[in-house]
């Protein structure tokens, strides 16, 4: 009977140092079954106690799990690298650097001809932000974007 039960069983072959994920089906209170992540890890096998039991270490900090783990609760993990598969650069890539034009480099009549104001709409002087300073800022990162009264406002770093 035992031979018949083990006939279709797949016993994975894990070695010391292999990266694995541990199956933990226990549901956490407040998290539904669909949102629960049953595979935790990555771990690596630090010691093989028998054919079916191993000791695991956490890959992030190297902490040893105190209980032994049966190998049917493990699945093989993969080491991902940041290296690209194809190291040859693309052939038709045009590298164009963005041009930054500062206020001092442009002519005054060029700026005034490009800016068109709509004088037909009445605007309150309290709500209008009079920004006569035309300076160029370098932005490291756009943190948030919000649309207020039809205009985009950005929070930058």
Structural domain contains residue 23: yes
Structural domain contains residue 136: no
The overall pTM is greater than 0.85: no
Structural domain contains residue 119: no
Give the domain CATH number at 13.
Answer: 2.30.30.140
- H or E, element range at 156: strand 151-156
Structural domain tally of the chain? 1
Residue span of the structural domain in which 19 resides: 7-76
**pLDDT exceeds 80 at position 47:** yes
Mean model confidence pLDDT for the chain? 74
Structural domain contains residue 26: yes
Predicted confidence (pLDDT) per residue in 57-83, tens digit: 988 888 888 889 998 889 988 877 665
């Amino acid at each position: 009977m035992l031979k018949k039960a083990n006939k279709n069983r797949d016993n994975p072959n894990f070695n010391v140092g292999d990266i694995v994920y541990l199956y933990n089906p226990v549901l956490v209170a407040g998290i539904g079954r669909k949102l629960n992540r049953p595979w935790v890890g990555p771990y690596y096998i630090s010691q093989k106690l028998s054919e079916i039991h191993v000791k695991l270490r956490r890959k992030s900090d190297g902490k040893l799990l105190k209980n032994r783990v049966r190998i049917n609760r493990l699945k093989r993990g993969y080491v991902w690298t940041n290296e690209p598969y194809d190291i040859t650069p693309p052939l038709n890539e045009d590298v164009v650097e963005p041009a930054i034009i500062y206020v001092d480099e442009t002519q005054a009549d060029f700026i005034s001809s490009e800016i068109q104001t709509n004088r037909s709409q009445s605007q309150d002087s309290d709500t209008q932000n009079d920004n006569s300073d035309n300076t160029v800022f370098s932005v490291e990162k756009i943190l948030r974007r919000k649309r207020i009264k039809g205009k985009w406002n950005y929070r930058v770093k």
